[in-house]
Amino acid sequence: MRAGIPNAVYAMTKAGVVMLTKALAEEWSRFNINVNAVAPGYFSTPFVEDRLRDREMYNTIVSSTPLGRVGNPEDIMGACVFLASAASSYITGQTLCIDGGRTVL
């Protein structure tokens, strides 16, 4: 997020997805259905391409990401495959942040 850019609706809906994930995990557990979410950080997508083209904004994003870069598809694919596999059979109601460490700051 960036100061001066309206983020209230985006923040509210992102929080809503986190809570919906928890609620559905509890409700659907009796059907042996696991519900998890993936919360990506900055990835090079059309949604953020204008921010990434702005050199100052790009530098701000990268400097506030502990791993020092924006994400690429390979960074998210493994986590999604894991969550869709039997290896995650005892994980439910979780939101996995794939953000290069931005949420630890």
On whether the CB atoms of residues 74 and 43 are closer than 8 A, the answer is: no
Looking up tokens 């700051």 gives: 105
On whether the CB atoms of residues 92 and 36 are closer than 8 A, the answer is: yes
What are residue 66's phi and psi, to 5 degrees? -50, -35
| Strand-pair partners of 95 | 37
Q: Which of 10, 42, 58, 90 is catalytic?
A: 10
**Quick check: is 10 catalytic?**
yes
Residue numbers annotated as active site: 10
